[in-house]
Amino acid sequence: MKSKWMIVLILLVALFLAACSGTEEAAGPEMMEEIGEGEGQVDIIAWAGYIEEGATDPNFDWVTDFEADTGCNVNVKVAATSDEMVALMNEGGFDLVTASGDASLRLISGGKVQPINTELIDAWDTIEPKLQNAEWHTVDGVHYGVPYQWGSNVLMYNTEAFGGTAPDSWNVVFEEMTLADGQSNTGRIQAFDGPIYIADAALYLMAHNPELGIEDPYELNRDQFNAALDLLRQQRVLVGRYWHDAFIQMDDFTNEGVVASGSWPFQVNLLQAGGAPIASVIPQEGATGWADTTMMHVNAPHPNCAYLWLNHSINPQLQGDLAAWFGSVPSVPSACNGNELLGAEGCQTNGIDNFDRISFWKTPTAACETQGECVPYHEWVTNYVAVIGGR
């Protein structure tokens, strides 16, 4: 037991140091001026399902042709959370990372990623204008990454348990209730195993407890933060598992009786393809979400292959195929048109019209715009670990 808590303590210290790195000034070499000959490989940290080579389904492969055309072999390290991505980038040895907004600014301010020369990104102007200068990868007019995909976290549910009627609120994962199948939701729901999930609780409170005055689920004063923690403690007795592995979550929905959880469209798509009675919805309260950016390590071992991948990552074919596979929205709007796998309505199905309904992940900081002082991220880390531990 002591060794277990020692591991937890070590992880907390590591996460705290990663969070605190956001107070450092970004430093590193100047951006590249030209792309040279590839070094033979590129090493990428990515979310599950983001870089496919046809191993799961031969129709989804945007690696094989790239390797043949460039001579750069693609090596992928799958990460389950943004904190894991930050920790891996802090260790070094990687070229690129598909960072969400709750990691990207930490990587920039911690000096772990380098500026991107958009002149070397041939199709930069084809990227959705809302994303080109997005605050999660652009600081003082300098770009530190290339937008990849975006989308929302969804409420995934078992259609049989809900009697064929879609739930319209996140209350099914925050409050005890009897579902349409006559059984309680206790022990049959899941929650995301990451501190950023506190924002999901805050988003729910924005709609149901307006007297708290929450304007941004990532900018919480002490009272608002404590209210979110109280809601998560209430939820704790309902949760069968806190998930971070997409494939384990899919197995839980298939074999372990889980019927509702926040999830990604990736899991929904694969479960539906396998014939499972699964659907998803963005409830009336809205949803948190992610706008992911491919960022380059400040000491990337293979910078030329990295830039070749950055260019490859936004070609319309890849963007459309990935959107079809993951259930996300392309960063290049033209990818929505004429992609056989995505289909004519694929971008609408994946939520391209929901941009303004999504509260995109970002790292909570002490200084915040909506109010004078907010609870910083390192406290989100320690307190969420406590909640999961039943405290």
Count of the separate structural domains present in the chain: 2
The answer to whether 79 and 85 have CB atoms below 8 angstroms apart is yes
Pairing of strands 358-360, 329-330: unpaired
User: What is the Cα–Cα distance from 135 to 368, expressed in whole angstroms?
Assistant: 14
Rounded to the nearest 5°, which phi and psi values hold at 287?
Answer: -155, 155
User: What is the Cα–Cα distance from 35 to 19, expressed in whole angstroms?
Assistant: 33
Same domain, 199 and 268: yes
Same domain, 38 and 107: yes
Same domain, 114 and 20: yes
Q: Pick the closest to residue 104 from 153, 45, 63 (CA basis).
A: 45
The answer to whether 29 and 111 have CB atoms below 8 angstroms apart is no
Q: What is the pLDDT of residue 29?
A: 56
Q: What is the CATH number of the domain that holds 113?
A: 3.40.190.10
Q: What residues have CB less than 8 Å from 294, skipping those under 6 apart?
A: 96, 97, 98, 99, 145, 146, 147, 148, 309, 310, 313
Same domain, 296 and 268: no
> Distances from the Cα of 370 to the Cαs of 42, 218, 219, 324, 364, in angstroms?
40, 10, 7, 36, 12
The answer to whether 339 and 346 have CB atoms below 8 angstroms apart is yes
Q: Which amino acid is at 250?
A: M
Same domain, 186 and 74: no
* Residue-number span of the structural domain to which 194 is assigned: 152-288+365-388
pTM: 0.84
Same domain, 74 and 200: no
The tens-digit pLDDT sequence of the chain (391 residues) is: 333 333 343 444 444 444 444 433 344 557 899 999 999 999 999 999 999 999 999 999 999 999 999 999 999 999 999 999 999 999 999 999 999 999 999 999 999 999 999 999 999 999 999 999 998 999 999 999 999 999 999 999 999 999 989 999 999 999 999 999 999 999 999 999 999 999 999 999 999 999 999 999 999 999 999 999 999 999 999 999 999 999 999 999 999 999 999 999 989 989 999 999 999 999 999 999 999 999 999 999 999 999 999 999 999 999 999 999 999 999 999 999 999 999 999 999 899 998 988 999 998 999 998 988 999 999 999 999 999 998 8
Distance of CA 385 to the CA centre of its chain: 19
Same domain, 83 and 210: no
User: What is the Cα–Cα distance from 196 to 217, expressed in whole angstroms?
Assistant: 10
